[in-house]
Every structure is written in structure tokens, then in C-alpha cells.
Amino acid sequence: MILVLALFGLPASVQAQESNLPARESAIVVQGTRDRPSNWRQAETDHIVVISDGSEKELVRIAHNLERLHFLLSVLLNRIDRPDNTRKLRVTLVGDGAEFDAIDLRNLRYSPGPFARAFPEPAYYDPREDGAVFAASRFDRKILLERGQSLAGLLPDLVRATTPETVGAPGVTGENPGTTTALAASYAGSIARFGRDDPLALSVNEQSVPQSAEGRIYAGYARHFLTTYFPHAYPRWYVDGFGEIFATLAIEGDARIEYGRAPDGYRKVLDRYARLPIADILTGRYLKDRKARERWTPYHAWALTHMLFFSNERRGQLHAYLATIAAGGSMEKAAEAFGDLDRFQRELAAYGASKIPYEQMTYPAGRAEGPIVRQLTLGEAAFVKGRLELGAQIDLPPPGDTAREDAITTRNRWLENLRKDAGRYPANVQAQLLLAEAECRSGNGTECVTVADRALTLAPGDSDALAWKGSGQARLARAAPAGERTALLKAARQTIAQANRADTENPVPLLAFYRSFADAGEMAPDVALEGLMKAADAVPAAPAPRLLLGEALAGRGNPGAARAALIPVAKGAYDSPETAPARALLASLGQ
């Protein structure tokens, strides 16, 4: 469905473009060294954009493999060669675990597990309304199942047992500067230099399993594919397990791809952690059981989902189970599809004792082309992490939540820092766009318009800049005296219409146009509702457009369509700020 708001008589304006030419020329001088290349690169394929500060070789391999994984999933789920108007997933690969943890990312719409403490989630995912983002570390790590005795603690005793002064060698007078002390100091310096990756930082009797950084990236993309191209309500264990099946993706040459192999150490993990009752998993009861959090791991989710995927008998039962949940049915009712759960429990316990199946596929190399790579400028790189942090910083707990006041304080502090950073890069359009969005979503209409105008000076006609300016204008219009409100709202919608004409596929102006009516308490016209539908199609996994669509359809007396829009939000795998209002509205619609 193609929608251009300009077709409905909203006039264009070129005045801003004409008045901004001198500023655009001066911006060339201001940029200076900030346009120099950074160590960040971007690789873009047909369906993914990957940004990394690692090596170009690693970036190209991961981006190409993600495009291959997209093709594989399209084949497996019968989506090959179908039209695709969805926004590309933006993947950001950060350095080691400490650097990733230093970015203030709180998963508000992604909550896998809950898993045992040894298995913290090393990734960030947010299905935002302008396109989903994913971030993870580029470095492998190990999952520590049981701590051993650190060699750091054993080293001094070992040195004392083997140095001459300890064994009473002839010629030793006790005036030796201290071999033990010197070696211990040397070890401490080594730890300071290398941290957890120091080659001497080893333990004896330790039990651990490796975890591939690339595997976490592939698992994250598989989950995104499922919830984007098949946006239904799913049980959390299934979405978690679905991703794990593709974590061991392997590529051979340019034409062979493999998936479904067991992860390294899976047997060790399954033997160490007692299994949950299968009935608790299938009905979702484990999500509310505190004890379950010490028994459930990603490896258990892998084992259950893998068995169902590769079992001819159970696969049909899985489809029936998922169909019941997708239609809004309870998980208890859905679990009946599996029949005798005691028998199922025995089958799952025995799964993996013999050879575990996996699959290989040969395909034409041209079906998954390699990426186009470019180097980011220093100015662009300066706001990579800020773009990631935006969702976690701006979105607030609902009114009445005890955490709301602290969240507002944190947001305001982050926003003030962003203003300073954007001020240091006045000629960087991405910096101004990021700040304009942050101001607008924080309710600062005047600041939003001001910063959006700065972005338009740098990039006249930019769709996002126009959309945020129009959103800021609409906010100011709603606060204006009643006699001025209608004219100001009309002007705001004209600005948003310009944004739509600049990029008819961009969901941001489509959502802004609909909200200009909904937030003003007005019935949105059909064109605005059609735009909302198109936005929801562009970002199917994003809960906010679905909630808006459900509200709009319910208000127009179409409860069936409203339920279809709301169920993935109200009963989806992961809770979000939109979950509670979606559930409340769904309950009000009845059956």
C-alpha cells in the first residue's frame, strides 16, 4: 500500500530550503577534522545494517552471514521472494563485555529467560517504531558453571615451594630481594594490564562452557526475523529457543549453510541443571516460579525447541500449540496439543543421548549478496552509542510507577549531556536528528522544533527532520490558546506531509500524522489511519504502532481487527511498556 499524504491537498513549502543556503555553506568550514574517518565501519545488505569498531574483515563476515541467515529463514518459513517493506535491522557490535556493559542499555522490550545467574543476557534489542536495533559484544566469553581454584591464589605458594630460599639451597643468606614478592608483583601487574583476559588468569577444577559472540548475534537475528515477519503472540520459551537453534550457524564457502548443531557444552549444562517440569514450561508457569530461575537456561530452551523442530511427530503438535496462543488462547489450553506430558517429559530427558540432527542447505551464492561497506566519520561515530541509548533513556515507566521519578531525573541528565555533545558537532546532521527526536519524545516541543530546524539547515528536506519538526509543532499547538489551536495544528500537519513526501516509506511521519489527531483528541481521518497501518507493516515487531492501531480500530467499532493488532503486544513473548495498556484494551473488547 503506497500512501503519500500530499495527495490530500497539503501544500509543500520550499522557503526553509531557500533561506538555509548560507548556513549550509558555513557548515563546511565548521566540520573540520570531524569529517575525518573513524575506526567505525558500516556494512549494509538487503535486510541488515551492521556497525562495528572492529576489523573490516570481521564486519563483512558477520554482515554477509546475517544476510545468508535471512535467506535460510526465508526458505525454512516459506517467505522466499515475497515482498518485503520492513525496515532494516540495525546491528551495532561493541568491543568487549566491559565496554558493552558501560553503555547504559536497559532492555525494555526484550526479556529472555529468566535464566540461571550464570547465563546473563549479553545483548540489547529494541523493536522501535522507526526500526528495530540490536547490540552485542564482538568478543567471545565463557559461561562459568562452577568456579575453580584461581592460579592467582596458588602462585605465591607455588613460588615459595620452588625458590632457593625455601628449599634451603647453599649460598642463600636471606638477603635475597624476595623472589616470591617479585613474582607476585609481576602477576599483579599482568592482571592490571590484561584484566580477565590475562593468560595467567586460569583456574583449576573450573567448569565452564564457551559462548560464541557471533552465535549470540545470529540467535538475536533469528528471533528478530520470527517476530518481524510472523508478528504473532508467542510463548517466551519458544522465541528464546528459536534463536538458539540458529546460534550455531555455519557457512562453508559461498554456497553451503548449516544450522541446528548442538551448542558446545550443551550436555554439561543439561547434566548440571535439573530440568523443569515440561508442563510448567508449556503453560508458562515457570515465568512466575522463583526457583525455576536456577534451573532454566538457554540450553534448555534450545533442547526443547530443537526436539520439536526436528521431530516429525511433535512438529504438528507444535504448530497447533502456537496457533492457539496466536489466536489469543491460554497457554494451558494450548499445551493440550502435546497430549501426554509425562511421556513428553521422558522424551525430552532422553533427547541428545544419541546423535543430534542438524541440516545443511546448498543455495546459489547470488541469493545472499555480500555487504557494501563504508567508513563512518568521527562525527558520525560520536553518536553511535547515543543512538543506542535513546530508547532506554527516553521511555519512562507509566504514571504511578515508583521508578518514574528516578527515570525522569536520569533522562533529563542524559538529555543535558546529549545537548552538550550535539553542540560540539553543530554541522553533524545525525547529531541534530538524534537530539531533535530526544527533545520531542521528552515533551519539549520548542526545543524539538529548534533542533529540527538546525538539522534542516544541514539537510534541507530530510524526512526525519521534517517529521520531528512537525511533531514539535503539533505539541506546541495543543498547548496554545483554543482560538489558535486549529491553525497551528494545520501548519504542523503540513510540515509532516512534507516529511511524508520526502520519503513515503518512512514510518516516522506516518506515525506523527496520526498522532497529531489522536493526541489532540480528534477523530483521525481515513488517510491517517491508512498511514498508521502502513507504519505498522514497516515495523511489525514494534509494539507502539500496534497499540495505536488497536486503539484506532476499537474506536471505529471494529473489535475483531483491533484484537488482531493487540494480541501480539498483550500476549507476546516479552513484556514492554505497551503491554499493560494493550492487555487492558484487549480485555475491554471481550471475545
- Please give the pLDDT value at position 18: 35
Strands 372-377 and 89-94 come out as unpaired
417 three-class SS: helix
SS3 for 178-231, per residue? Answer: CHHHHHHHHHHHHHHHHHHHCCCCCEECCEEEEECHHHHHHHHHHHHHHHHHCC
- Please give the pLDDT value at position 585: 97
Q: Report how far residue 371's alpha carbon sits from residue 50's, in angstroms, rounded to the nearest whole number.
A: 9
Owner of C-alpha cell 500449540: 321
- Please give the pLDDT value at position 159: 52
Per-residue b or e along 299-332, where b marks 16 or more CB atoms closer than 10 Å to that residue's CB: bbbbbbbbbbbbeeebeebbeebbebbbebeebe
- Please give the pLDDT value at position 250: 96
CB atoms within 10 A of CB 407: 17
Residue whose C-alpha is closest to residue 222's, from 73, 370, 333:
73
Residue whose C-alpha is closest to residue 360's, from 68, 66, 45, 46:
68
DSSP state of 382: T
On whether the CB atoms of residues 322 and 33 are closer than 8 A, the answer is no
- Please give the pLDDT value at position 158: 52
On whether the CB atoms of residues 258 and 282 are closer than 8 A, the answer is no
For the entire predicted model, the pTM comes to: 0.85
On whether the CB atoms of residues 341 and 278 are closer than 8 A, the answer is yes
Rg, C-alpha atoms of the chain: 28
- Please give the pLDDT value at position 172: 45
Owner of C-alpha cell 516429525: 312
Q: What sign does the CA torsion over 428, 394, 469, 529 have?
A: positive
Question: In what helix (H) or strand (E) does residue 250 lie, and over which residues does it extend?
Answer: strand 250-252
From first CA to last CA, the distance across the chain in angstroms is 30
| Orientation of helix 445-458 relative to helix 21-31, angle to 10° | 80
Q: Report how far residue 23's alpha carbon sits from residue 428's, in angstroms, rounded to the nearest whole number.
A: 13
Q: Report how far residue 198's alpha carbon sits from residue 176's, in angstroms, rounded to the nearest whole number.
A: 28
Q: Report how far residue 402's alpha carbon sits from residue 389's, in angstroms, rounded to the nearest whole number.
A: 22
**Alpha helices of 382-481 — where are they, by DSSP H?**
384-394, 404-424, 429-441, 445-458, 463-479
CB atoms within 10 A of CB 587: 10
- Please give the pLDDT value at position 169: 46
Average pLDDT per consecutive 10 residues, the chain (591 residues; last block may be shorter): 37 36 37 74 97 96 97 95 93 84 84 92 92 94 81 56 49 47 50 46 75 96 97 97 97 92 92 91 93 89 95 93 96 96 94 86 89 94 91 84 89 94 92 96 96 97 98 97 96 98 97 98 96 97 97 96 97 94 94 65
Q: Which residues on adjacent β-strands are paired with residue 94?
A: 137
Q: Report how far residue 193's alpha carbon sits from residue 176's, in angstroms, rounded to the nearest whole number.
A: 27
Q: Residue 370 corresponds to which cell in the numbers above?
A: 555480500
Residue whose C-alpha is closest to residue 457's, from 436, 429, 423:
429
- Report DSSP letters for 128-169, one per residue: -TT--EEEEESS-EEEEEE--EEHHHHHHHHHHHHSHHHHT-
SS3 for 528-580, per residue? Answer: HHHHHHHHHHHCCCCHHHHHHHHHHHHHCCCHHHHHHHHHHHHCCCCCCCCHH
Long-range contacts, 269-272 (Cβ 8 Å, 24+): 269/143, 269/145, 269/209, 269/297, 269/299, 269/300, 270/299, 270/300, 270/303, 270/352, 272/145, 272/146, 272/207
Q: What sign does the CA torsion over 496, 497, 501, 507 have?
A: positive
Contacts of 28 (CB under 8 A, 6+ apart): 427
207 phi, psi to nearest 5 deg: -115, 120
**Domains of the chain, CATH where assigned:** 1-20+426-523 (1.25.40.10), 37-140+210-366 (no CATH), 542-591 (no CATH)
Residue whose C-alpha is closest to residue 563's, from 588, 580, 545, 541:
588
Q: Which residues on adjacent β-strands are paired with residue 92?
A: 51, 135
